[in-house]
Amino acid sequence: MDPIKRTAPFLLILCLVATLFAFDGDVVERLLALLRYDESSPLTLTTGFFLVAFLIFGIGYVVLRGKARLRTLYVVLFSLYFYYKLSGVYILLLLFVAVSDFLIGRGVSRRVEEGRSAKALVALSVVINVAILVYFKATNFFVGVINDLYGTGTLNWESVVVPAGVSFFVFQSIAYVVDISRGVIRPLTRFSDYLFMLSFFPKMFLGPLVKAREFIPQIEAERVVVSREDFGRAVSLIAGGVVKYAIIAKSIGVLFVAPAFAGEMGDGGVVALMAIYGFTLQIYCDFSGYSDIAQGVALMMGFRLPDNFDAPYHSATITEFWRRWHISLSTWLKDYLYISLGGNRKGAFRTYLNLIITMFLGGLWHGVGLTFMAWGLLHGVALTLHKVWLKVIPGAKTLGSDMKPVWRVVATVFTFHLVAFGWLLFTAKDMTVVGAMLHNIAYNFSWADVVPMVEKSGVVFVLMAIGYLLHMLPRRADEALRRGVVRSGFVGQWLLMVVAIWMVVQCNMLLAAEAGAAAGLPIYAAF
């Protein structure tokens, strides 16, 4: 039997149970509350409310999945509801970008077909979208600089809040218009299809960035098909993502990393070093875990999103790292920025300069500030030096798999610490914190501090050990686990989901008891 059809009765039962528990008072008021945006409780794929909402949505989706037009409209409406519950009034920004680039894309296509230049329209799309990013990401920085230079209060500007997911849907919208101008794709004729591509709820918050040429055929398919293997893989992705994001990343961040960077754990070098190691694992589990959940939810609906991570800390070179970390972003930067700047077509110097500019702008994509600029420059210079290394050193390799075992271990350890230092720049609120952390490691490091720190935060270090161990397992181990989930059958898969949800609930209760509150949105929600 089709896995989606087999799921429908369970969805209905769970919805009825959820309804009985949810509406024990004023039904109308509770329904209205579900429809209103609540700034204190934004909707994400990892909230309890999303589980209930997705179960209700799933019933309608099962009914409509064989009717392409109705399915598209249904998913679009739920996606818009999802984004409204996540960002409130900023749903208007999403709609503006969608309308703007849908119309510009049609205009670009007409000019290309007529043999006319479409550069002006492409430039218009880029200017509109970049202006949106600059306003939301750079305003606070420049206001702060002016007030620092000319005195506090020179500019009385209310702090600008970055809308959730703005970087992701803006970048995808730019790519859509550029691909039309390059003749890679034809423009969508229905606005609903374009809005589907831009707002599809599993990916629109934190990606991955999806290429239009890969996603459009899935939208246009007459019928969605989810095989038994697809359903099992979706369950394994969701369960694994939940463990990484909601248990490992949250616990490490709330119980150790955040207090350590705030100076609440002392100023010893051991604490500083372990905080860097902790954040290095936290940001990976946080982002890749959420990406896994997004992939799993999409696959459960019959849509395939690209892999966004491939065990990045296995990397033996910085070039390999960027082939494994946030793959969709690095690919976007290469295809739409690096190549547009000239890529490697204009000599060695221009190649290196283009690489540094690309990574510098990639740093600014995350946020306008000295720390993000330094982070982008670090990776740009590191990538450039590695290219030079490959040219001048005979036998130098790009990938660890091509190296001899001893050199691979040495190179992997070096690359890991280079990346970890980059994460220090990435997460520190300013360069003063960076300097203080490095000073403590260099001058206040004492092995005697290890035992008291472990006694105080033993659970955290157990989770860190588990997280790094799981990450360093070979790919065949990960695939074996996923095959096991597929073979476990429908009942086993549902039991796995129940256990994962139970673990999340217990973890949240522990964090609330230990730290006073659970962690908020994912780290990348700020970007």
Q: Which residues of the chain have pLDDT under 50?
A: 20-24
Query: Is residue 65 within 8 Å of 8, Cβ to Cβ?
Result: no
Query: Which residues, including other chains, have CB under 8 Å from residue 465's CB and lie 6 or more apart?
Result: none
Nearest CA-CA partner of 289 in 252, 258, 334: 252
- Could you give the CA distance from residue 329 to residue 175 in angstroms, rounded to a whole number? 12
445 in Cβ contact with 267 (< 8 Å): no
- Report pLDDT for 317: 97
Cα–Cα dist 307/339, whole Å: 22
How far apart, in whole angstroms, are the C-alpha atoms of residue 411 and residue 314? Answer: 10
Q: Is the peptide bond before 208 cis (omega within 30 degrees of 0)?
A: yes
- Distance, in Å, from the CA atom of 181 to the CA atom of 117, rounded to the nearest integer, reads 9
Question: With contact defined as beta carbons under 8 Å apart, do 236 and 482 qualify?
Answer: yes
Q: What is the reported pLDDT for 521?
A: 75
What pLDDT, on a 0 to 100 scale, did the predictor assign at position 520?
Answer: 65
DSSP string, 431-493: HHHHHHHHHHHHHS--GGGHHHHHHHSHHHHHHHHHHHHHHHS-HHHHHHHHHHHHHTHHHHH
Q: Which is nearest to 157 in space by CA: 133, 131, 138? A: 138
Per-residue pLDDT of 377-406, as tens digits, reads: 999 999 999 999 999 998 899 999 999 999
Q: Cα-Cα-Cα-Cα dihedral of 225, 229, 235, 241, to 10°?
A: -100
**Nearest CA-CA partner of 140 in 362, 368, 433:** 368
Domain boundaries, the chain: 3-66, 90-220, 229-313+447-526
Phi, psi of 63 (to 5 degrees): -70, -40
Q: Cα(355)–Cα(337) distance, rounded to whole angstroms?
A: 10
**8-state DSSP, 163:** P
For tokens 């946080």, what's the residue? Answer: 286
Which residues have C-beta within 8 Å of that of residue 423, sequence separation ≥ 6? 276, 279, 280, 283
Distance CA 74, CA 65 (A): 10
Going by C-alpha positions, the residue among 439, 427, 406 that lies closest to residue 526 is 427
Q: Are 375 and 418 in contact (CB under 8 A)?
A: no
User: Whole-prediction pTM value?
Assistant: 0.89
Active site residues: 366
Instruction: Give the DSSP letter string of 307-350.
Output: P--S-GGG-SSHHHHHHHSSHHHHHHHIIIIITTTTTTSS-HHH
Q: Which helix (H) or strand (E) holds 240?
A: helix 228-242
pLDDT at 20: 47
Token pair for residue 307?
Answer: 């892999």
- Residues 87-90: contacts with CB within 8 Å, 24+ apart? 87/37, 87/42, 87/163, 87/164, 87/165, 88/37, 88/39, 89/37, 90/163, 90/164, 90/166
Cβ partners under 8 Å of residue 121, min gap 6: 104, 107, 108, 111, 177, 181
Task: Specify whether the backbone of 302 is left (phi greater than 0), alpha (psi in -120 to 50) or beta.
Answer: left
Q: How far, in Å, CA of 212 to CA of 306, rounded?
A: 12
For residue 490, the model assigns a pLDDT of 78
- Say which residue the tokens 């260099």 belong to: 442
Measured between alpha carbons, how far is 501 from 137 in angstroms, rounded to an integer?
Answer: 35
**Are 384 and 355 a contacting pair, CB within 8 Å?**
yes
- What is the reported pLDDT for 2? 55
How much is the pLDDT for 459? 86
Tell me the C-alpha distance between 308 and 287, whole Å.
9
